[in-house]
Every structure is written in C-alpha cells, then in structure tokens.
A and B are shown apart, each in its own frame.
Chain A
Amino acid sequence: MLQQVFNTLINASIYALFAMGYALVFGVLDILNLAHGAIFMLGAFTAVQAVLGWHWPLVLAIPLGMVVGGAVGVVLDLVAVAPLQARGSGFLTPLISTIAAGIVFENISLGLFGPDAYSFPTSVFPQTPITIGGAVVQPVDLFVIGLTVCLMVGLTAMLRYSTLGKAIRAVAANRLAAQLLGINVARVVAITFFLASALGALAGIFYGLELQDSISFNMGGSVQLRGLAVIVVGGMDSIPGVMLGALALASSETIGITEIGSSYTDAIAFGLLFLILIVRPSGILGRRGSRVV
C-alpha cells in the first residue's frame, strides 16, 4: 500500500513539474504551449547525452538539461509566439504555431538521435534500496520527489515575494495594466517561458531516470496529454491546482492499474478530464476570469 503511495508520488512529481510549464505560460499568455512535450524530450536527451556521450556527472547534466530546455523555450517564444502576440491573433494561431514548433523539435531529435530509446546508465545513482514502512524505494525516487517538492515551494515563494514573481503575476492578471506600470512585458514573458521550459525539461530528465529505455524522440507524446489532463483537472492558472491535479491523475492511474489493468491508464486520464470539464469547466481550483499564477 505504502509502495503504491510512493509510486503515485513519483508520477505526480513528474506530472506536476511538466504541467507547471503549461500553467505558467497559460497564465501570462492565455496560450497552451503544445511544444512543451518536445521540450520535455529535449531536456531528457540533453542530460542523457551529457552523461553518456560526454561523461558528465549527473549533478551537472541535470542543470544543463534544464538550461537547454529553458533556452529552447525562449527561442520558441521569440520565433513562434511573440510575433503572433504582437499581431493580436487570438488563441488558435499561436496554438497551431506551437504545435508546428513541437513537430520540428521532435524531428530534429529524430534526425540527431534516431528512433532508438535511451536510458541513463544505472551508475548515475546509487542503487541501494531503502525501506520505509513497508515500501521499498530507490534513492533516485526520493531525489525526484524531494527536488520536486523543493521546486514547488521555491516557485510559490518566488511568485509571491520576489520582484520577478510579482511582475509575472501582474502580466498574468492584466497584460495592458502591467505594461502601463512600466513592466517590460515581452521580457517577463520570455523569462516565464524559460522557467516553464526548464521545469518541463527537468520533468523529462526525471522521467528518463525513473523509466528504463524511455528517452526517445516521441517521449513527449503521452506525457503531453497527461499534462493537459492535469491542468484541466486542477485549473489552468493556479499552482496548488496543478499539484492537486497531478496527485489526482497519478492516484487514479495507480488505482486504475491495480483495478483495471495498465492499458486503460490513458482512458482514465481522459475520463477524469472529461468529467471535470463538464462539471466544472474551470478546473477544480481554477478561477474563471481572474488569473493569479
């Protein structure tokens, strides 16, 4: 039982980090970044390339992956999103633009790394199992959960107390007013993309650490959909909502696997999504109209 709790927490951590990227971008731009799954993949590939190809220690590979992911996010913003924002294009055009960018990123990866699946070597993390209660966990599991929790707390604090955080919330609440207050909206948006993508990249690295043979050019696909389920369930623009949504999704998947069998986990994710949207279109914790990231 406790074992399943840990499994749930691991999945929830990855989903939460990933979905946070959606939430941040949606908060400031009202746009869903559908290239996020590709960035998730690029983060994982960067880290595994560093470890396998250049023999970097994991402790350096992870920040590298995050930085590269963040940088790709900024490029995405500058090339595919910001110009459309300037034109006032509504929600559909930027969405399609990010879809296109995602396709391009995926195929660059396919060209660079081929269709094979990669793994982190087991040597990157000590393999000694730790027993807690009745559950057996690996150190990497605790790392994933622990770092995620720290980052969530840090993000919440940053948004609440730091100048940048306030600027982000201002832009999320009312773009025009933020501009009138002297905030450089374009820069805040770019920084938000960096943050969001760095988190997504980290989620990809964690995914690669947790699952063998999982790093491949199209690994973003299923996580992408799950991430959507998370923010829809939890509300697109609230951090506690994302965390709640991630837990809800991960829990229902764990329960689903034991009760129904693993081929239905996708169906569970979407069944939940449908149900929530129909009953409460703004998600469990989301706020219609007003936005507070």
Chain B
Amino acid sequence: MGGLSGALNTWYAANNNLINDSGLNAILALSVFVMLACGLLSLASPAYMAIGAYTAALLSNNTGVPFPAQMAVGALLAGVVAFVLGLPLLRLRGVYLAICTVGFVAITQIFFNTWTPGGGGNGISISAATTTWQIYLILAILCFLLWRLEGSALGRSLAAIRLDEEAARSLGIDTVAFKLGAFALSGILAGLMGVLYARLHYYIDPSTFGFDTALSALTYVVVGGSLTTLGSPLGAILITALPEWLRALNDYRTVVNGLILLAVILFLPGGLVELPSRLRRLIGAGARRLRRSPETRG
C-alpha cells in the first residue's frame, strides 16, 4: 500500500501542472459547450475568463474576501457581462455571432492591456492559491449538475433549439430566453475558471485571454464530444495531457491538436465520447456481414 501511494505522490508531483491545467481547461471547455448545446458558436469565453481572473486578482491582493466569495463575484460578473453581450448578439446569424464574439475577445484584451489597476500589459500577480482538489471538486460538481440538466426537460429544450429553432418556437419554447440563459451560464463557467486560473498561476496578463485560448477550448469540446456534457472534460484532459504522452512530438503539439481536430471533424463528428458506440456499431456491422451467406451478400 505504501508503494502505491508513494508512486501516486511521485506521479502527482511530476505532473502537477498538467493535472491542474487539465482540470481548468475542462471547465473552460464546459463554457464553450453550453453555447454549442443550443446551437451557438461563441468564442468569447477567454473574455469571461479574464473578468473572473482579474476579479480574483484584485480581490485577493487588496481585500480579505475569501475564496468562495471570490468565485461567486467573479462568476457573477462574468455571467452578467455575457448576458449583456448576448442581448444584441442574438439577432445575428450563427456565423456573424461567432465573429462578434471574436471581436469581443479582442476588445477585452485591449481593455485589459491598458487597464492600470490590472497592471496593463505587464499583468498582475496574485497572492492566493488554489489546490488540485479544489479544481477537481468544482469540476466534478459542475459536470454533475450539467449532466443532470442535459437529461432534464430544460436540456431537451436546448437540444430542440439546437436542432430546429423554428420548430422549437412553434412548440412554445422561448428561444431567446434560453439562449440568453446559455450566454449567462457560459459566462459564469468561464468566469469561475478565471478565478481558479488566477489563483493557481499566481500571475495573469492579457496575452492569455485571446483568440488562441478560445480555439483551444473549442478543440477540447469538439474532440471530446460536443453533444454531451462529459465530452468537454474528456477532450480537455486528453488534449492537455497529450504532449506528455507524446513527449517526442512536443514541438508539434499544436499541429497535432489541429490534426486531431480535423480528423475528429471529418470522421467522428460526435467526438471521441462517441467512439465506443461507433466501434460497437462497426464491429456489429462487420459481424453481420460475415454471418450472411455468400449468395445474399451484397
């Protein structure tokens, strides 16, 4: 027993950062997921993350506000900003909405680059900490809640909006309210992640909160599976941990990300989370073909 826990400790110590970052990325991925779940592509999550992060930074450095309250404030602020962003954006068609969210991230980055209380372009350090347990506990709670929601009537309504918005409206679903709710939830999740991120890394600067981060988050969701809650953490952990597994390919990490994304999009649109059932179907189809007699084989 001592050997096992010793080994775990060594493994944990060696991969500390990776484990923490995976957990954080998983939460960020969930933020993108809830938008995709109702059919909207939003790349605004880094902006919400920034709001959470800077909130945590300022509260930690200047006040005695405890950790849970920091999370609440950061998440709430980000959620409100997301909601307000959603109001005008909802009249836009999918592609235009996505572009606007990209623009919003750029504007937010510029804002924080020139915002002196946050250190401007130099960033700011935070005198607080977060543990792996906290991150994963929060992740687990979020995953649980979202998973329960997915199978609920509200989750079904979101799926309906995603699949056919007009038909959903014709059944009495207030699609605008739902989408605004999704915006707010996306903000809350990313804001929460931002608080944790700031406290984990002890330092933040505007360069983290840009388009690249949004693309990474999108990759986690799409690769893991964009149709169900558990796809996002799966994709995040897999892809964040990937360079460790392919240490030789570390330089090519982003290419590998891109290739994986491409492969998944082309061949496995439901994401990796679909892989077991896909394989099962393939094997089943193959077995069926073998069982058929030669005369009837197509």
Chain A residues in contact with chain B, CB under 8 A?
Answer: 32, 79-80, 83-84, 89, 91-93, 95-97, 99-104, 106-108, 110-111, 221, 225, 228-229, 232, 236, 263-264, 266-267, 269-271, 273-274, 277-278, 281
Contacts and interface: CB of A to CB of B under 8 A. Distances in A.
B261 A89 contact: no
Contact of B110 (A32, A100, A104, A264): A264
A108 B258 CA distance: 11
Nearest to A221: B211
A228 B95 CA distance: 10
B102 A228 contact: yes
B222 A96 contact: yes
Nearest to A265: B110
B110 A266 contact: yes
Contacts of A269: 103, 106
A232 B251 CA distance: 36
Interface in B31-45: 36, 39, 41
A72 to B, nearest CB: 14
B140 to A, nearest CB: 28
A80 B262 CA distance: 7
B261 A96 contact: yes
Interface residues of B, number: 38
Contacts of A110: 254
A258 B96 CA distance: 30
Which 3 A-B residue pairings sit nearest by Cβ, starting from the closest? Answer: A103-B258, A270-B103, A100-B261
Contacts of A99: 215, 218, 261
Q: Is the interface of B mostly helix, strand, loop or mixed?
A: helix
Interface in B244-264: 251-252, 254-255, 257-259, 261-262
B100 A274 contact: yes
B92 interface: yes
B135 to A, nearest CB: 27
A216 B96 CA distance: 28
B236 to A, nearest CB: 16
A95 B41 contact: yes
B95 A267 contact: no
B89 to A, nearest CB: 8
Contacts of B211: 221, 225
B114 interface: yes
A92 to B, nearest CB: 6
Given A104-B258, A107-B255, A274-B100, 17 more contacts: A79-B266, A80-B262, A89-B269, A92-B94, A97-B262, A100-B219, A107-B252, A111-B252, A221-B211, A232-B96, A263-B110, A263-B113, A266-B110, A269-B103, A270-B106, A274-B104, A281-B91
